Amino acid sequence: MPLADRIPLARLLGKARLDGRRNLLCDVWNLLSGMPGGRLVFSRLVGRFAPYAGNLHATVLVLRPGHAEVQMQDRRAVRNHIDCVHEGALASLADLAGTLALACSLPDDARAFPSGMQIDYMKLARGPIIAVAECEVPRTAARARHDITVQLRDASLDEVARVVLHRVVGPSPGVPGDRSDVN
């Protein structure tokens, strides 16, 4: 049984420090990242909550509001017919890093939805790939578009792809002013 399945989430969350914020994702990261093997456990928990992202077997290296660094190992399951990391795997890695950076930044009464993605490929990706995501920290849950810039680099720190994720941040359901039912 994987370690992430053996640690009761409720026990971890009971120890999470809130530091004036109620962002559960950041709380769990802050709790686990300092423990031996904690980054791996956190990464596997993310994969359990987002199964498609879990298929990447990526490891979260750094997470704070507005910033995330996530690494994916080069393995056969993410390669294409020309023996390099598939562009779909690169896009998924960028999406994971950017989503984590934004999710760790959201106010308590906000949620975010994808609205688009732009990706430029610079060179064939081989070896471990690190995605570094940067975004502005939303100050309110008011409906607004936010762009997240993600750079994907190989082991020699050459940029293999650059991604801009477009997200719409707005109020969570049930929050006064929520218009999620309006197109």
Average pLDDT of the chain to the nearest whole number? 85
What pLDDT is attached to residue 156? 95
What pLDDT is attached to residue 173? 81
Instruction: Write out pLDDT tens, residues 107-155.
Output: 888 899 999 999 999 999 999 999 999 999 998 889 999 999 999 999 9
What pLDDT is attached to residue 23? 79
Q: Which CATH number fits domain 3-171: 3.10.129.10, 3.30.70.3270, 3.30.70.580, 3.30.565.10?
A: 3.10.129.10
**Claim: this prediction has a pTM higher than 0.75:** yes
What are the Cα distances from residue 20, in Å, to 10, 24, 171?
20, 12, 20
Beta bridge pairs of residue 60: 70
- Report helix, strand or coil for 132: strand
Domain ranges of the chain: 3-171
Confidence of residue 175 (pLDDT cuts 50, 70, 90): low
Instruction: Write out pLDDT tens, residues 43-87.
Output: 999 999 888 888 899 999 999 999 999 999 999 999 889 999 999
For residues 61 and 24, the model is more confident at 61
Neighbouring CB atoms inside 10 A of 123's CB total 11
- Residue closest to 60 by CA, chosen among 71, 47, 74: 71
Q: Is the pLDDT of residue 20 over 60?
A: no
